[in-house]
Amino acid sequence: MAGEAQDAVWPLPKFYFKVDLGNGDSDVPFQEVSGLETETQVIEYRAGNNPVFSTIKMPGLAKVSNVTLKKGIFVKDNKFWAWYSQIKMNLIKRSTVVIKLCDEGGNPTMTWTLNNAWPCKIQGTDLKADGNEVAVETIEVAYETLVVANA
């Protein structure tokens, strides 16, 4: 009804976020972040003396997917390529990448921490003579564990 108190709890918008690559570059301006997901493999098991003729399902190994980050290309900005070029015979400098979803005041409300992260793929922009879009480069980051925290 009109005049009743409105519920002040709303879902967070997903457009205000910050990314800290952990290598001295805090709050790098990205256009898009995708792939923040984790999955647990299912182990099906049935004991030999179980009278029920079906399996039970138990949690197995956890695995995480790679995270894809997209940002505009700026003049004299080769941070992605410099980080990627450090891959040499399993001697990559790993870092902790922190992705923060922010409220309207810029305060982090939810964070995703990617531990032991390193770049596994870089994709430059596509080039078109008749295009009018911004040049965007993409980096794909592999990592070992994902920690999600709410503020």
- What's the 3-state SS for 92-126? CCCEEEEEEEECCCCCEEEEEEEEEEEEEEEECCC
Q: Let me know: does 40 contact 48? Beta carbons within 8 Å.
A: no
Which residue's entry shows tokens 């790098």? 28
103, part of any domain: yes
111, part of any domain: yes
**Average pLDDT value for residue range 78-106:** 86
76, part of any domain: yes
42, part of any domain: no
Question: The CATH number of the domain where 128 resides is what?
Answer: 2.30.110.20
Q: Let me know: does 33 contact 67? Beta carbons within 8 Å.
A: yes
Q: Does residue 87 surpass a pLDDT of 70?
A: yes
Q: Dump pLDDT digits (tens) for 18-52.
A: 999 887 667 788 999 999 999 999 999 998 888 88
Q: What's phi and psi for 9, nearest 5 deg?
A: -95, 115
**Average pLDDT value for residue range 116-130:** 92
Q: What's phi and psi for 94, nearest 5 deg?
A: -85, 150
* Sequence-ordered list of residues with C-beta below 8 angstroms from that of 150, at least 6 positions apart, any chain: 109, 110
Closest of 7, 29, 137 to residue 81, by C-alpha: 137
**Average pLDDT value for residue range 127-148:** 93
pLDDT at 137: 93
Instruction: Say how far apart CA 62 and CA 112 lie, in whole Å.
Output: 16
74, part of any domain: yes
Look at the chain and report how many structural domains it folds into: 1
Query: Residue 146 is part of which domain span?
Result: 17-37+65-150
Q: Let me know: does 68 contact 36? Beta carbons within 8 Å.
A: no
60, part of any domain: no
2, part of any domain: no
56, part of any domain: no
pLDDT at 111: 95
